[in-house]
Amino acid sequence: MPIRNTVATLLAVALGAAGEGPPGAASCTGCHGNARAGMAIPPIRGMPAEAIGASMRAFRTGERPATVMDRIAKGFTEEETQAIASWFAPR
């Protein structure tokens, strides 16, 4: 029993550690949480990774107008953005 407990805990812990995502992803959740009715901030969970990446690139260059995402996207490199995008896509 103790052994099974340990394995279960370790497994859960290992999965959970990835649960907060790559650097930065946990902060996106501050505004892009689970979709709720009447929300004006668009949800990004489940959006294709390429679309998240393309939006972030357009926010960073200023090509896509924004209220706040331009200021946020500039804080992430292309590599970091890709990691975040791939993490949000399947959720």
Partner 1 sequence: MTCLGRRALLAGIALAPPALAQGESRVVVVGGGFGGATCARALKRAGLAVTLVESEATYAACPLSNAVIAGTRPWERQLFSHEALEREGIHLIRHAATGVDATARRVVLGDGTRLPYDRLVLSPGIELRFDALPGYDEAAAEIMPHAWKAGPQTGLLRRQLEAMEDGGTVVMTVPANPYRCPPGPYERASLIAHYLKTHKRRSKLLVLDAKDSFSKQRLFQSAWAELYPGLLEHVPLSGGGRVVAVDAAARSVSTEFGDHAGAVVNVIPPQRAGRIAREAGAADRSGWCPVDPVTFESALVPGLHVIGDAAIAGAMPKSAFSAAAQARVCAAAVTSLLQDRAPAMPKLINTCYSLVAPDYGISVAGVYRPADGVLAEVEGAGGTSPLDAPPAFRALEAGYAEDWFGTATAEAFG
Q: What is the CA radius of gyration of the chain?
A: 16
Residue 9 or residue 27: which is nearer to ligand HEC going by CB? 27
Which pairs with CB-CB distance under 8 Å and at least 24 residues apart come from 53-59?
53/81, 53/82, 53/85, 56/81, 56/85, 57/81
Residue 2 binds which entry of ligand HEC, partner 1, none, CB below 5-8 Å type-dependent: partner 1
55 binds ligand HEC (CB under 6 A): yes
Site for partner 1, rule CB under 8 A: 2, 5-6, 8-17, 19-20, 22-24, 26-34, 36, 39-41, 67-68, 71-76, 80
